[in-house]
């Protein structure tokens, strides 16, 4: 299999020179065991790249543990990443194996590493240098063999210069650097991505017919500047597919409406500590809460690795958590359908 086919087998779509370069970089990085950092604007596929790198590496059959660094408060950082012994502090009723230990022999993905506090950076650096973790309250260290892949949409060199990111940690993690290019620099990939997301959405809504897209609709997609990159393109295609009857054409007007309706302004908490459910202008309170629950669930599920463990942490029973997520997904789906239907009238 050539490197591009390997990428499409893990859901990374693209045939532009920039994507061919990315494919080669991933292949090289997968062939060695060095720490890597993936940089790029929001929505360019950094997480996809990290997962592809793991799946192409010799660690592929071992765990891939994803950690959103901004989501862990400083006080929780140590116990979340390194675990704790029974009785280490009030409430520590049993020994907890945590993220670094859970990722043993596999890969740990430190997403948004630029959001980690300086104190947490110091602790992380120690682990990377010594290849060992000492769970809170434990007497001995545990040796760990973990490959670290970090990601950020910040310019880490600038963060170092501004004193917000430790220089020693920067050199430690940025051994291999991979950049995911913005969509506006590889617009030739738009038709392939369009086809891919169209097919995905039609399958999701169990459509039996495939919509046809007019040439001027594709031109309108080419002319756009895509501040939200591939994620935004995916949302726009979903809107177009859901808002068009199976036998009709998607034309340039529909594309322009979908782009006009697409809110670019996403409001986040001002302290930067709140990564869940960023509020998109125009969303209703229910939409916001449904998104927030889904984001929280995805993040915890990624960390715990199981639905049951996630439910335990959230102190709800497994089936009621399934039901609540299902209700939220259905409501969100209906509100997308209604919004798209309103935009084609």
Decide if 128 contacts 144 (C-beta within 8 A): no
Which of 46, 147, 211, 291 binds ligand ATP (CB under 6 A)? It is 46
Closest-by-Cβ residue to Mg ion is: 47
Based on the shown chain and the rule CB under 6 A, indicate whether residue 110 belongs to the binding site for ligand ATP.
no
CB of 294 to Mg ion, least distance (A): 15
**Cα–Cα distance between 135 and 6 in angstroms, integer?**
38
> Residues near 116 by Cβ (< 8 Å), separated by ≥ 6?
69, 70, 77, 110, 124
Strand 176-179 to 147-152 pairing? unpaired
Pick from 35, 29, 106, 110: nearest CA to 77: 110
Tokens (6 digits) for 187? 């617009």
**Cα–Cα distance between 329 and 267 in angstroms, integer?**
22
Question: Contact region for ligand ATP (CB under 6 A) — 39-47, 102-110, 283-291, 299-307?
Answer: 39-47
Based on the shown chain and the rule CB under 6 A, indicate whether residue 12 belongs to the binding site for ligand ATP.
yes
Which x/- pattern over 287-316 shows residues binding ligand ATP (rule: CB under 6 A)? ------------------------------
Cβ neighbours of 204 (radius 10 Å): 12
User: Residue 228: what are its φ and ψ, rounded to 5°?
Assistant: -95, 10
Question: Contact region for Mg ion (CB under 5 A) — 43-51, 61-69, 213-221, 235-243?
Answer: 43-51
Question: Contact region for ligand ATP (CB under 6 A) — 41-49, 92-100, 248-256, 306-314?
Answer: 41-49
* 111 strand-pairing partners: 68
Which x/- pattern over 156-195 shows residues binding ligand ATP (rule: CB under 6 A)? ------------------------x---------------
Which x/- pattern over 48-77 shows residues binding ligand ATP (rule: CB under 6 A)? x-----------------------------
Tokens (6 digits) for 243? 């808002």
CB of 40 to ligand ATP, least distance (A): 6
> Residues near 65 by Cβ (< 8 Å), separated by ≥ 6?
99, 102, 103, 106, 107, 108, 109, 302, 303, 305
Which of 3, 39, 44, 198 binds ligand ATP (CB under 6 A)? It is 44
Which of 11, 87, 131, 246 binds ligand ATP (CB under 6 A)? It is 11
Looking at residue 281, what DSSP letter applies? T
Decide if 179 contacts 40 (C-beta within 8 A): yes
Q: Which is nearer to ligand ATP, 47 or 214 (CB)?
A: 47
Based on the shown chain and the rule CB under 5 A, indicate whether residue 295 belongs to the binding site for Mg ion.
no
Which of 26, 36, 39, 40 binds ligand ATP (CB under 6 A)? It is 40
Output the CA–CA distances (angstroms, integers) from residue 235 to 104, 200, 262, 297, in the order listed: 36, 12, 9, 20
CB of 266 to ligand ATP, least distance (A): 10
> Residues near 26 by Cβ (< 8 Å), separated by ≥ 6?
3, 7, 49, 52, 53, 56, 178
Question: Contact region for ligand ATP (CB under 6 A) — 132-140, 229-237, 263-271, 298-306?
Answer: 229-237
Which of 59, 147, 211, 234 binds ligand ATP (CB under 6 A)? It is 234
Task: Please report, as residue ranges, which positions from 46 to 85 form the binding site for Mg ion (by CB under 5 A).
Answer: 47
* 249 strand-pairing partners: 212
> Which residues form the interface with ligand ATP (CB under 6 A)?
11-14, 40, 42-48, 153, 180, 230-231, 234
Binding site for Mg ion (CB under 5 A): 47
């Amino acid at each position: 299999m050539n490197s591009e086919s390997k990428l499409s087998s893990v859901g990374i779509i693209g045939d532009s020179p920039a994507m061919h370069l990315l494919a080669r970089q991933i292949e090289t990085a997968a062939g060695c065991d060095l720490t890597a950092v993936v940089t790029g604007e929001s929505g360019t596929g950094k997480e996809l790249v990290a997962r592809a790198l793991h799946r192409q590496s010799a660690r592929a059959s071992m765990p891939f543990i994803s950690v959103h660094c901004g989501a862990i408060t400083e006080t929780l950082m140590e116990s979340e990443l390194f675990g704790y012994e029974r009785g280490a502090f009030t409430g520590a009723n049993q020994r907890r194996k945590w993220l670094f230990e859970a990722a043993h022999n596999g890969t740990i993905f430190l997403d948004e590493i630029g959001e980690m506090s300086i104190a947490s950076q110091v602790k992380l650096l120690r682990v990377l240098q010594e290849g060992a973790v000492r769970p809170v309250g434990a007497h001995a260290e545990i040796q760990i063999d973990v490959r670290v892949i970090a990601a950020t949409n910040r310019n880490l060199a600038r963060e170092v210069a501004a004193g917000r990111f430790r220089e020693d940690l920067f050199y430690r993690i940025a051994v291999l650097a991979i950049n995911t290019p913005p969509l506006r620099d590889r617009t030739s990939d738009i038709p392939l991505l369009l086809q891919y997301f169209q097919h995905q959405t039609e399958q999701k809504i169990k459509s039996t017919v495939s919509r046809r897209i007019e040439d001027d609709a594709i031109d309108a997609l080419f002319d756009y500047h895509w501040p939200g990159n591939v994620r935004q393109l995916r949302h726009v295609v979903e809107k177009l597919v859901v808002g068009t009857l199976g036998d009709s054409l998607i034309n340039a007007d529909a594309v322009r409406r979908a782009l006009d309706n697409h809110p670019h302004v996403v409001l986040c908490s001002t302290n930067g500590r709140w990564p869940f459910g960023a509020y998109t202008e125009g969303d209703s309170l229910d939409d916001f809460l449904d998104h927030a629950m889904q984001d929280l669930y995805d993040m915890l599920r990624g960390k715990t690795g199981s639905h049951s463990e996630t439910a335990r942490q959230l102190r709800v029973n497994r089936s009621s958590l399934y039901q609540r997520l299902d209700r939220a997904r259905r409501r969100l789906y209906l509100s997308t359908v209604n919004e798209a239907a309103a935009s084609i009238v």
